[in-house]
Amino acid sequence: MFSAEFQAYGYLAVTVFMTVSLYAYIYHLYKNRKDADGKDYEEYSNMALNDDIADTPVNALSKDDKK
């Protein structure tokens, strides 16, 4: 049946695409180490450790940068 065949190939294609995407993402994370804002990913752990409302944000929204 055409639709079932289409479904099966579509399923395979999506699986392969998502697997490749996931591994590409892993490669990207470990190769670049930093995100688009230039922050090392590991610095983001500090969002939990320094979470008092008066603490300086790890990556402040620009309107608060002046603080």
Partner 1 sequence: MENRPLEYDYTVAKMFMLTTVLLGIVGMLIGVILAFELAFPGINTILGSGLAEFTNFSRLRPLHTDAVIFGFTLSGIFATWYYVGQRVLKVSMAESGFLMFIGKLHFWLYIVGVAAVVVSLLAGVTTSKEYAEFEWPIDIAIVVVWVLFGVSIFGLIGMRREKSLYISVWYYIATFLGIAMLYLFNNMEIPTMLATSAAGESGIGAWYHSVSMYAGTNDALVQWWYGHNAVAFGFTVPIVAMIYYFLPKESGQAIYSYKLSLLSFWGLMFVYLWAGGHHLLYSTVPDWMQTMGSIFSVVLILPSWGSAINMLLTMKGEWQQVAASPLIKFMVLGSTFYMFSTLEGPIQAIKSVNAIAHFTDWIIGHVHDGVLGWVGFMIMAALYHMAPRVFKREIYSKSLMATQFWIQTLGVVLYFTSMWIAGITQGMMWRAHDEFGNLAYSFIDTVTVLHPYYAIRGVGGLLYLTGFLMFAYNIYKTMTAGKELAQEPANASPMGA
* Binding positions for partner 1, rule: CB under 8 A: 8, 18, 22, 25-26, 29-30, 33, 35, 37, 39, 41-49, 51-55, 57-62, 64
In the complex, least distance from residue 10 CB atom to partner 1, rounded to whole angstroms: 13
Distance CA(59)–CA(44), nearest Å, equals 8
- ∠ at Cα 43 (55, 22), nearest 5°? 135
In the complex, least distance from residue 56 CB atom to partner 1, rounded to whole angstroms: 9
Phi, psi of 55 (to 5 degrees): -70, 150
In the complex, least distance from residue 13 CB atom to partner 1, rounded to whole angstroms: 15
